[in-house]
Structure 1
Amino acid sequence: MSLQKSGVLIATALLLASCSSKAPKSLVTPLPPVAKQPLATTPAKNTQPVRGIWLATVSRLDWPPVNSVNMSASLRVSQQQAALRNKLDKLKSLGINTVFFQVKPDGTALWPSKILPWSDMLTGTIGQDPGYDPLQFILDEAHKRGMKVHAWFNPYRVSVNTKPSTTADLNRTLSLHPASIFVLHRDWIRTAGDRFVLDPSIPEVRDWITSIVAEVVARYPVDGVQFDDYFYAETPGSALNDNQTYRQYGQAFSSKADWRRNNTQQLIEQVSRTIRQLNPNVEFGVSPAGVWRNRSFDAAGSDTRGAAAYDESFADTRRWVQQGLLDYIAPQIYWPFARDAARYDVLARWWANVVKPTKTRLYIGVALYKVGEYSKNEPDWTVNGGVPELKKQLDLNESLPQINGTILFRESYLEQPQTQQAVNYLKSRWGG
């Protein structure tokens, strides 16, 4: 899509973080509000079942190769590109047709952004140009192989820890263009889950995140955009302190929980409308925790006893489906059929019923990372290399017409010794 066609919306998005000649109230020019625009009608998307995989770049979990970071620039580029080509070849041979590629693992980017500094995952240093464009590279290579790529964003995470060395690395970006949001807007930053995160309640934060998605959708032929389940990502010992912003923005709500859910709702609405305005052919989806709500809390919930997105992440994922804000939803149903507290079949069928009266497609996230791993509570993952459990899950997915695909978490587990029986099974089932 040309920038001209995208109009003022994207022109503004691409100018972000470069407007600091005078000292405005904000060091970042936010994207113009889009939430009040009418929703565009969504054209029919392809109906091929998704056979997908998540490819994580945070902490170099799946890519790039850890040892490539310390190489000379030319060797680093060739090794990172060769590793990605090899992965795509392997995925293609297994019958995988869609890669969910993590382009924003934290407050950095895996493309030459005018909003975010370069990711240190590529070079070891935040803001250092890796010498190529990884997002364009994977798009070119995947499309050449007939595979689709969804750009996977972690919306609010700024860093994976709060170590003094991490703070120092973020502070060193101050002279960069663009610098990290950590130094441009320290007032937006909170600590939660022992990470630096953005406060989801600040309207300018939601504008800023939307502008990052807009930059990618306007500049790249991505097939989709996905947010993972990190909305409010707290832990009991590291809660997000948003008391001040609650006093500032939350007075119209009867509880902080309702206010938080509304903050998440506003981001999803805004991103959904922005993508549809820029390119309605780009699919927008979310991959939430598998449980929306437990029936013990809500009669509409599932017959489960698991951590619920509605109550823990303050994400009303069922509502987004009902309102048509998402092209697809990919709940992470990471339990076997025999896990009584959150049975795979119970949750898959519950989600199938949620999407049934809507146009939202349903892809199920499956726990490849558990296959072959001993678990006292989930012993079925090790029976015959986990193949019978995996087969039951795929059989159910393919038997329910409302389920349009399966996504495996995550790519590097295809290479682990304990998964090889399951990988061979996948190749025989999908790769033929």
Structure 2
Amino acid sequence: MIRTSSHKNYFLILAIIGMFMVSCKSTKPVSKSTEQNSKEMPASEEPAENIPAEQEGPEKDLDNFNTPPLDVTEFRAAWIATVANINWPSKPGLSTEKQKEEALKLLEILEKQNFNAVILQVRPQADALYDSELEPWSYYLTGKSGKAPQPYYDPLEFWIEEAHKRGMELHVWLNPYRAHHTTAKEIGERSIVKTHPELTLELKNGMWWMDPGNKKVQDHSAAVVMDIVKRYDIDGVHFDDYFYPYASYNGKKDFPDEKSWQKYLNSGGKLSKGDWRRQNVNNFVERIADEIKAEKSYVKFGISPFGIWRPGFPKGISGMDQYEELYADAKLWLNKGWIDYFTPQLYWPTKQIGQSFPVLLGWWESENVAGRHLWPGINLALEDKEEHKGEIASQILISRGILQKNAGTVHWNIGPLINNQDLAKSLVTGPYKNGSIVPPSPWLDSESPAKPEWNAQHSDDKIIINWSHDKPDDVFRWVIYYQYEDENWDYKILNSNSRELEVSNTNSQGKKINKVGITAVDRTGNQSSFKAINVR
């Protein structure tokens, strides 16, 4: 469904407002104590033994809010690509110690930049960067397909544990149909290309592709997805734009699936070849969505398709037609609500008229009739060119204007955050100056966690807040809200293992702290009920 032109004008206006906000370096009112948000509040130098004993809890219950005083939600994720060793590991065959060292460095960068999710590629070519009985260890991990890391460890378990320690979700990114990538050199003995040649097809560029029209392929890829969902403590499953391959991969020739196409016709099939191919992909997407939810209802399913559905949608947009070339009816998946978050790859600059970022995002938002998460994918490498400096911050702010209370962005890829220090600084001092929590997904889970119990110790120049929870395993993060007299509310986000925060009794303007409140956040983004307490 396409909304009326008045809605389109509305989104264009929001986009213009977003670009204006970039020039103002702000999108919303900021409290005067914002400079302290991204670091611990100043602690007293007074010896601990001189701090008065713990008080009898909060002094006075002023207000009882169901909703916290600030909206601190925004999805901030980065893709970490393993194919061709784009991001991790830096090359095949590194030692276990070096692989872990590189992984921790990437996570620490994301933590410092106030990201809250990682999308890690774990199946780049029908292989595994985790311990699998269904597919071989990846060449990109050890330098030899089928060879386990030495000394042994499970990379996916390591990434999940370390991401969660830092308050970040871990989404596994899989390519459902690619069987072999040319950068992986030899085809291993356990590759599906050799073990089940009847399921794979060779393309003109040297890659091998599984046939999406073959039910055995669908069953195998679904089994791989569900094996991960069942065995690992992941937060999401992610597919990118590779369904049927890009035409250039096969020298602009038609995909060589004549055998499965003839089998379909012989069974009485009436669809055109294009509609049949789209049906194969649609059925697989819906199947994966249903199977994930049947196993673990809280695990999100996301897809990042090519950013243009079809040329001319909306008016003035031009580019590759994924509907006809990749046989991906991405608009249908969004309309139907099969996926929990939709991340169109909008990798073009704002001023590129034929592929305009705000115009495309506004159109995709108009198609989000099921009310799922719409978090665009943006291309950090744009800022490698001088003429695009500031583009990424602009796109983040435009997204906030268009998406309103369900904002989020996925960043392709983590590399420029490492290599472009100007870009990294512009984000952490700009739109990502303060932390955020992942927005809730009420269609997955709408039950809020219980409120934490907490108390405060006072001294002349600080307050020490301590808290506990009856069900700590239900808590993924904490949000501590605080307000100084005559000031706006402020906040700090802490990870699940935190139980204490020191807050300065006065801010840089000499204003005394007035109110404090704490919420528990569960792994699907639900916050507990909020209660503000007077701590003066």
TM score, norm. by length of structure 2: 0.64
- Say which SS state the counterpart of residue 158 (structure 1) adopts: strand
Residue number in structure 2 paired with 1:395: 397
Q: 1:388 to 1:47 in 2, by over 3 A?
A: closer
Q: Is the 8 A contact 2:84 2:183 kept in 1?
A: no
Residue in 2 aligned with 1:224?
236
For 1:144, the equivalent position in structure 2 comes to 165
Using the alignment, how far apart are the partners of 2:128 and 2:340 within structure 1? 24
| Shift in CA distance, 231/119, structure 1 to aligned 2, threshold 3 Å | same
Q: What is the CA distance between 1:47 and its match in structure 2? A: 8.8
- Spell out the pairing of 1:37-48 with structure 2 (5 A cutoff): 48=73
Aligned positions of 1:26-425 closer than 5 A: 48-66=73-91, 69-70=92-93, 76-130=95-149, 131-161=152-182, 166=186, 169-170=187-188, 173=189, 179-192=190-203, 194=205, 195-236=207-248, 237=251, 239=253, 240-250=255-265, 252-295=269-312, 301=314, 303-355=316-368, 357-373=369-385, 382-383=386-387, 386-401=388-403, 404-416=407-419, 419-425=420-426
Q: Given the superposition, is the C-alpha separation of residues 294 and 238 from structure 1 closer, same or farther in structure 2, using an over 3 Å criterion?
A: closer
Greater strand content? 2
Query: Which piece of structure 1 moves more, 389-398 or 57-66?
Result: 389-398
Give the letter aligned to residue 89 of structure 1. Answer: E
2:399–2:408 CA contact under 8 A, matched in 1: yes
Partner residue, 1:176: none
Distance 2:174 2:158 in 1: 17
Amino acid at match of 2:263: Q
Residue type of the alignment partner of 1:210: A
- 1:306, distance to aligned residue in structure 2 (A): 1.1
- Sort the Cα spacing of 1:47 and 1:421 in 2 relative to 1 into closer, same or farther, 3 A: closer
Q: Give the Cα separation in 1 of the matches to 2:204 and 2:167.
A: 39
Supply the distance in 1 between the matched residues of 2:259 and 2:167 (Cα, whole angstroms): 49
Q: Would the aligned equivalents of 1:108 and 1:180 in 2 still touch at CA under 8 Å?
A: yes
What is the identity, as a one-letter code, of the residue corresponding to 1:57? T
User: Structure 2: how far apart are the matches of 1:327 and 1:399?
Assistant: 21
The one-letter code of the counterpart of 2:147 is Q
Deviations 1:99-127, CA, capped at 9 Å, x for gaps: 10001011110111110111111110111
What is the CA distance between 1:343 and its match in structure 2? 0.7
Matched with 1:4 is: none
1:192–1:235 CA contact under 8 A, matched in 2:
no
CA offsets 1:278-301 (integer angstroms, 9 cap, x no match):
101000010000001122xxxx65
The letter for the 2-side match of 1:313 is L
How far 1:220 sits from its partner (Å)?
0.6
| Pairwise CA distance, 1:224 | 0.3
The count of aligned residue pairs is 354
**Which runs of 5 or more residues in structure 2 are unaligned?**
1-70, 435-536
| TM superposition shift of 1:366 | 0.4
Report the residue type matching 1:65 in the other structure.
S
Shift of 1:238: 5.5
Counterpart contact for 1:302–1:347, Cα < 8 Å: no
Contact 2:236 2:302 in 1 (8 A): yes
Residues 107, 302 of structure 1: alpha-carbon distance in 2 compared, 3 angstrom cutoff: farther
Q: Which has the larger radius of gyration?
A: 2
Amino acid at match of 1:428: T
Q: Give the structure 1 partner of residue 481 of structure 2.
A: none
Letter in 1 for 2:397: D
Question: RMSD of the alignment, in Å?
Answer: 1.9
SS at match of 1:274: helix
Matched to 1:246, the amino acid is W
**Runs of 4 or more above 4 Å deviation:** none
Any idea what SS the aligned residue of 2:182 has?
coil
Per-residue displacement from partner, 1:270-324 (whole Å, max 9, x unpaired)? 11111011101000010000001122xxxx6553101132122101111111112
Q: Note if contact 2:79-2:412 (Cα within 8 Å) is conserved in structure 1.
A: yes
Residue deviations 1:58-107 (CA, integer Å, cap 9, x gap): 011000021xx445xxxx01110011111101110011111100010111
- C-alpha distance in 2 between matches for 1:193 and 1:325: 33
Which string of whole-angstrom CA distances, capped at 9 and with x for unpartnered residues, describes residues 329-381 of structure 1? Answer: 100001111112111111010111111x21311011001122223xxxxxxxx
Contact 1:193/1:235 (CA < 8 Å) preserved in 2?
no
* Matched residue, 1:31: none
The unaligned stretches of length 5 or more in structure 1 are 1-45, 174-178, 374-381
- SS of 1:371's equivalent? helix
Higher relative contact order (CA 8 A, sep 6+): 2
SS at match of 2:180: coil
Secondary structure of the corresponding residue to residue 376 of structure 2:
strand
1:2-13 pair list within 5 angstroms: none
